[in-house]
Amino acid sequence: MTKRAIQTLENPYRPGAGHMPPYLAGREKETDEFERLLKQTTILSNLVLTGLRGTGKTVLLETFRPIAVRGGWFWVGSDLSESASVSEQSMAIRLMTDLSVVTSSVITATRRERQIGFGGRSKKTHQTMDYLALLETYDATPGLVSDKLKNVLEISWANLSRLDCRGLIFAYDEAQNLADGLTAGEYPLSLLLDVFQSIQKKGVPFLLALVGLPTLHTQLVNARTYSERMFRVLFLDRLSNEASREAILKPLESMEHSIPFTPKAIKSTIENSGGYPFFIQFICREAYDLALQKLAAGKPPKLSIDEILRKLDSDFFAARWSRATDRQRELLSVAARIEGSETEFTIQQLVEHSKKELAKPFSASHANQMLVSLCEAGLVYKNRRGKYSFAVPLLNRFIIRQMKQRK
């Protein structure tokens, strides 16, 4: 391959927050489950899509949108910022703003207005359910915020149902930002659950799809215990070895000219990515760029995994690691060396291992306090089994690499 030909080759891999990969591998089961939810005539189950960062939650949500539209559903939504959890009113505004994207095209009334002047012609004007019309309905409805919002949604469906429409999906990413009680006397998450449960019981086919980190499901249950029965929870885990191979190789198959990965490079990529889609894309993109540079320089395109991991540590892990204090880093370093900690670990394990490894070990109460702080910093989370897990995928491997570098 000539130097000029090498310079024209494109890198097909796209590591980024929510960037659509060239090939979505290993998510057939979740897609099938979503399609089953779309077949509901009465909404009994909503969707929670959860997992660690880097598992492809946002990407998968975006692939669900065209599936829903082809199935006759309308789709609205956005990322949920912390501001949506400030108050019940802000949550209501968020929902009405998103709803108006669909309802603003629905004509609810038509009237003729005669223009002023001799020989004036009459003019047709159409009244639609735009945001101002929704807000007017909301303000005119007596009762609490929940009463007002339920009425707006029910009236909206009464008009939308005249269209060729199965229902409406409210899809929200970063839903772990939702929480009750951030402002005294305000319960926006409970409001959301209460409103959707109520209108769904009345037969309104508005389906809620929430996407977020693993803490999301716990927050839903804490807000309303019945939410466990409201949602079908899909937990995105790492890809299998076979799906990882597809994520690596399929993008190259669609290219007219490309640089192939050797079996050894494929194996190394799978091992070092841990099967997480983001890391697969990151390693492949860096490897492909390095291969192009080496070929252009007349050298063999050998995979330099150590060099790529150093860049991954700098670009992805370093900023998160900087959130921890020195003492918290000691605790996380102990956790990283516990066998099986890539999945989960306990306070008891932390205490026992710290006694063996540290001059100043942790007591159970101190470890518990620090874990609470680390949860708030987004470095660990408490899973449903009452144990702790790293909130950042492969953080334990990064920590171990940092420890080796310090020696």
**Shared domain check, 360 and 252:** no
Say if residues 84 and 178 touch (Cβ distance below 8 Å).
yes
For the whole model, what pTM was predicted?
0.87
If one counts the domains in the chain, the total is 3
**Does residue 18 lie in a domain region?**
no
Residues 6 or more apart whose Cβ sits within 8 Å of residue 209 = 46, 47, 49, 61, 64, 77, 169, 170, 171, 172
**Does residue 123 lie in a domain region?**
no
**Shared domain check, 300 and 279:** yes
Last residue of a domain, one of 189, 211, 236: 236
**Shared domain check, 263 and 151:** no
**Does residue 301 lie in a domain region?**
yes
Last residue of a domain, one of 221, 236, 251: 236
> Given this model, what pLDDT does residue 19 score?
78
**Shared domain check, 296 and 269:** yes
Question: Which tokens hold the place of 263?
Answer: 């079996």
**Mean predicted lDDT score pLDDT of the chain:** 88
**Does residue 124 lie in a domain region?**
no
**Shared domain check, 312 and 225:** no
**Shared domain check, 92 and 52:** yes
**Shared domain check, 228 and 252:** no
**Does residue 7 lie in a domain region?**
no
The CA-atom distances, in angstroms, between 146 and each of 96, 327, 333, 384 are 13, 45, 46, 30
- CATH code for position 156: 3.40.50.300
pLDDT tens digits along 44-100: 999 999 999 889 999 999 999 999 999 999 999 888 877 777 899 999 999 999 999
**Does residue 381 lie in a domain region?**
yes
**Does residue 129 lie in a domain region?**
no
The CA-atom distances, in angstroms, between 275 and each of 135, 208, 278 are 46, 29, 9
Cα torsion at 333, 339, 343, 344 (round to 10°)?
A: -70
**Shared domain check, 247 and 344:** no
**Shared domain check, 160 and 60:** yes
**Shared domain check, 197 and 95:** yes
- CATH code for position 388: 1.10.10.10
Last residue of a domain, one of 203, 236, 269: 236
pLDDT tens digits along 143-201: 999 999 999 999 999 999 988 889 999 999 999 988 888 788 889 999 999 999 999 99
Q: How many angstroms from the chain centroid is the CA of residue 74? A: 20
Which range of residues forms the domain containing residue 252? 240-319
Q: How many angstroms from the chain centroid is the CA of residue 248? A: 22
**Shared domain check, 301 and 264:** yes
**Shared domain check, 374 and 272:** no
Range picked from 5-14, 94-103, 105-114 for highest mean pLDDT: 94-103
Average the pLDDT over 316-321 and give the result: 92
